[in-house]
C-alpha cells in the first residue's frame, strides 16, 4: 500500500474514533503506565494489512514498539500471534479499535479471495475484484485481494475505460462509443467493452476493444465467446458468478473472472488484541 495514502487514511480514521480524547484510556492510565499486548488470530484465514499495525501506532505521539510476527499473504491458524506490542497502555488501547477494524476486514477479503482462487483451480484464469468496494476502504480492500492471490480490476473511473450497456445505448452503438474514446484518450488508456450477445461480441472485436467482458453469461456461452475472440484481446467474465458456481467456469479459458463478492460480501476475520 502507498505509505502516504495509508497514513492519511489512518489519520482520518483515528480522528473519527478518538475525537479530542480517549476518555476511557487516558483517565485510567497515566503516561508512565506501560504494558505489553499481542494481536492474535482467533480463526483460520489469510492475513492482510500488517502495515496498518506499525504505521497506525507510529502516528501517536508516545512511542509504541511493534514486532511483526507474520507477513501479508501468510496463512493464519487460530492462536497464531500476528504482532507483539509494547508501550504506553493508554496509547496501545487508543489505537486498538481502528487497527483491528482494518486488519479484520482486510484479512476477511484476503481469506475470501483465497477461497475463490482455490475453488477455481485454474492455471490460466485469474480472479479479480470490481469497484463494488466499501466507500473509503477501496485501497485497503483491493490490496487485500492481492494478498489473497487475486488481481485488481480498475481502481476507479479514472484509470481505464469500461463501456457498459448504458454507454452503448446513449452512444448508439459499440462502434460509436469506442471511436469517441479513441479520439479523445491517449494510447496508454485501455478500453473494455461489456457485451451480452454474439452480435455485440463481433461488434466489439470490429471496434478493436482491448478487453471484452462477457456479462451474465453461462459457462458454455463464455467458452464459445472466448473461442470467437482474437487471442490479442483480453477476455473477462462477470455477473452471476459466485462461490457456488465458480468451478463451472474452470475450463472456459477466459482470462479473468471478476467477482464483486470479494469486496462487498466478505466476513471479517476474527482477530483480537490481548494483554500479554
| Per-residue pLDDT at 147 | 98
C-alpha to C-alpha distance for 253 and 271, rounded to whole angstroms: 37
Cα four-point dihedral sign 122, 163, 215, 221? negative
> How far is CA 120 from its chain centroid?
18
Which domains does the chain carry?
3-116+267-275 (3.90.1170.20), 121-264 (3.20.20.70)
Distances (CA, A) of 261 to 192, 245, 258, 267: 21, 13, 9, 10
Collapsing DSSP to helix, strand or coil, 234 comes out as strand
pLDDT tens-digit map of 157-212: 999 999 999 999 999 999 999 999 999 998 999 999 999 999 999 999 999 999 99
Contact indicator for 48, 73 with CB cutoff of 8 Å = yes
Distances (CA, A) of 271 to 48, 73, 109, 115, 220: 11, 15, 14, 19, 41
Residue 31 confidence (pLDDT) above 90: no
pLDDT tens-digit map of 152-172: 999 999 999 999 999 999 999
Residue 26 confidence (pLDDT) above 90: no
194 forms beta bridges with 213
pTM of the model: 0.95
Query: Which residue numbers are catalytic?
Result: 97, 132, 164, 194, 215
| Per-residue pLDDT at 21 | 86
pLDDT tens-digit map of 119-159: 999 999 999 999 999 999 999 999 999 999 999 999 999 99
Phi, psi of 216 (to 5 degrees): 55, 50
Mean pLDDT for 17-24 is 92
Residue 89 confidence (pLDDT) above 90: yes
CA angle 70, 74, 78 (to 5 degrees): 80
Mean pLDDT for 242-269 is 98
Share of the chain above pLDDT 70, in %: 100
| Per-residue pLDDT at 165 | 93
Amino acid at each position: 500500500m502507498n505509505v502516504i495514502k495509508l497514513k492519511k487514511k489512518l489519520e482520518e480514521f483515528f480522528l473519527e474514533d478518538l475525537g479530542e480524547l480517549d476518555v476511557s484510556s487516558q483517565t485510567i492510565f497515566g503516561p508512565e503506565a506501560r504494558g505489553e499486548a499481542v494481536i492474535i488470530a482467533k480463526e483460520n484465514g489469510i492475513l492482510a494489512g500488517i502495515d496498518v499495525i506499525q504505521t497506525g501506532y507510529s502516528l501517536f505521539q508516545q512511542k509504541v514498539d511493534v514486532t511483526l510476527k507474520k507477513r501479508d499473504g501468510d496463512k493464519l491458524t487460530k492462536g497464531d500471534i500476528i504482532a507483539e506490542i509494547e508501550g504506553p497502555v493508554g496509547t496501545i488501547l487508543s489505537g486498538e479499535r481502528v487497527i483491528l477494524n482494518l486488519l479484520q476486514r482486510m484479512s476477511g477479503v484476503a481469506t475470501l479471495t483465497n477461497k475463490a482462487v482455490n475453488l477455481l483451480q485454474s492455471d490460466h484464469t485469474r480472479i479479480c475484484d470490481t469497484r463494488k468496494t466499501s466507500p473509503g476502504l477501496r485501497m485497503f480492500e483491493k490490496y487485500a485481494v492481492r494478498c489473497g492471490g487475486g488481481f485488481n480490476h480498475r481502481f476507479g473511473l479514472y484509470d481505464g475505460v469500461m463501456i457498459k450497456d448504458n454507454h452503448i445505448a446513449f452512444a448508439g452503438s459499440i462502434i460509436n462509443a469506442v471511436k469517441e474514446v479513441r479520439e479523445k484518450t491517449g494510447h496508454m488508456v485501455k478500453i473494455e467493452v461489456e457485451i451480452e450477445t454474439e452480435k455485440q461480441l463481433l461488434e466489439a472485436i470490429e471496434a478493436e476493444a482491448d478487453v471484452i467482458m462477457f456479462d451474465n453469461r453461462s459457462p458454455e456461452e463464455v467458452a464459445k465467446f472466448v473461442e470467437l475472440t482474437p487471442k490479442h484481446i483480453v477476455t473477462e467474465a462477470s455477473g452471476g458468478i459466485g462461490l457456488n458456481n465458480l468451478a463451472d467456469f474452470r475450463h472456459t479459458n477466459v482470462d479473468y473472472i471478476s467477482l464483486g463478492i470479494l469486496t462487498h460480501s466478505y466476513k471479517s476475520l476474527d482477530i483480537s488484541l490481548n494483554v500479554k
